[in-house]
Structure 1
Amino acid sequence: MAVITTKDVTKVYNSDQVPVHALRGVDLEIKKGEFTAIVGPSGSGKTTLLNIIGGLDAPTNGRVIVQGTDLGTLSDSELIDFRLHHIGFVFQAYNLIPVLTSIENVSFVMQMQGKPAQEYNAKSEQLLEEVGLADKIHKRPSELSGGQQQRVAVARALASKPDFVLADEPTANLDSVSSGDLLDMMADLNKKEEMTFVFSTHDQRVIDRARRIVTLVDGQIDKDEVKD
């Protein structure tokens, strides 16, 4: 069974003025344990598709089904709750809360889920250790490098035990060493824990590591390739 299914998904912006067709009938299935990169030139619809899969944006037409749930049938509050429990996000700009330490940023998601303090503190420490930041748990984002901040963001994305992680240009602000370390870490999580990752990227380093590459051109799937 697919973790993610999109059926004839379209997205049109400014439909009442000069319409911009960001997506034009995208059909896609992502299965558990995939390590997939969605690629394409600027304006091809990569980020739009990722946002729609993650329930951050709604399609103009079509359906998005996550673990058997049609996101289009959920109310706004139900969708927020669904994202909280089922989808992990890693953003290009990290999106960490500046006044919180690493452990507080990671535990924030679990606090929102209503987990007890003892549980979320222990889990946050474990996750930060797994991403190589055991000695940075009490550091705030301003005290961390870009690569370290993105590792905190990955730990936060995993904190909710999501069905999959969506990563939008996660290496865009990182140097080559930090990018390589981050991607190796995510590939290791994918292999050991069967964590499903879907990337929106134009970074060749991500593309080289991905096991499936979906190419968008003008809002449509142009190629869908699985590596041997």
Structure 2
Amino acid sequence: MLVLSLDSSSIASVALSRDGEVLSRFDTTDTRSHAEALAPAVQDLMTEAGLTGADLDAVLVGTGPGPFTGLRAGLVTARTLGFAWDVPVHGMCSLDAVAFHVAPAALAAGHTEFVVVTDARRKELYRRSYRVHEDEFGPSIAPIDDPRVGAPEDAPALPCYGSGAALYPDRLSRAVPGFAELHPSAADLARAAWALTRRGHELSTDTSPLYLRDSDAKVPASPKRATR
């Protein structure tokens, strides 16, 4: 299964993968240029691989949670490519990609339940809790709850993995060190999706964004009077 993955919930990233093996990837930590970076990155990866949209089996996109502008860039790009190439577009919570990445470390540490925490700005964190166990295919994760946003102190008293753990180690009950640079990425998204499909699960076709907050942009209560 040849998949093009995109995630812009934190960093902007693109990956090409076949059956969960990442063939090539692009990642940028510049959080101010998601819209400008994604389309050229897709073009470059596809050209270097000698592929066209007709060669793909699916497009996969991280649905967040994430900031409005950055998250929209990835979702719109993925939906547009899927429409133009006539390939299905699947969505996955971006925190699930991080959870899949840390699952082997969590199991090795004896953490059968843990929380993924990433930066939500405003001194808050995005978070989601997971259970992990080993099966015939390797580490397997299952969400315990829905994605949430809130103060670090609101996180469950479980081991906390991800970039958010390094931001507020003193405000989390059990921050796990060593994952300060771990952000949701298209590569981990692809690996997590393959881990689901090889276990017989269908990928979601829901690409609705997980903003978790109201927009800062507000419609004026009443239109201003025009003056001459």
Question: Greater helix share, 1 or 2?
Answer: 1
Higher CA-based Rg = 2
Which structure has more relative contact order (CA 8 Å, sep 6+)? It is 1
Per the TM superposition, whether the score is higher than 0.5 is no
- TM range, normalised to the smaller chain? under 0.3
Provide TM-score, normalisation by structure 2.
0.27
Provide TM-score, normalisation by structure 1.
0.27
